[in-house]
Amino acid sequence: MYLTKEKKAEIFAKHGESATDTGSSEGQIALFTFRINHLTEHLKNNRKDYNTERSLVKLVGKRRNLLDYLIKKDIVRYREIIKELGIRK
């Protein structure tokens, strides 16, 4: 499995308040970005995997909603997470 407990805790520790702070917007955005990157690589090799493509589109939408929430809530945090994760907009 590509996403282990340790990797998930590491993502939340780096981008959230702590390793157990799974509810922070930044942590969730970072986790979605990690999963999106993984699915993108998978689709490069398996271009006819339409179920994965659908999952990828749903994840991008969820991340977009969280980013929209964060931009309304705190523009500084939004800019930091965009810069940190290399998400373009």
Q: How far apart are CA 65 and CA 49, in angstroms?
A: 25
pTM for this predicted structure: 0.92
Which pLDDT score, from 0 to 100, does residue 86 have? Answer: 95
- Tens of pLDDT along 9-47? 999 999 988 888 889 999 999 999 999 999 999 999 999
- Tens of pLDDT along 39-58? 999 999 999 999 999 999 99
For residue 15, which amino acid is it? H
Q: How far apart are CA 48 and CA 30, in angstroms?
A: 27
CA nearest neighbour of 69 among 22, 35, 25: 25
Chain Cα centroid distance, residue 45: 21
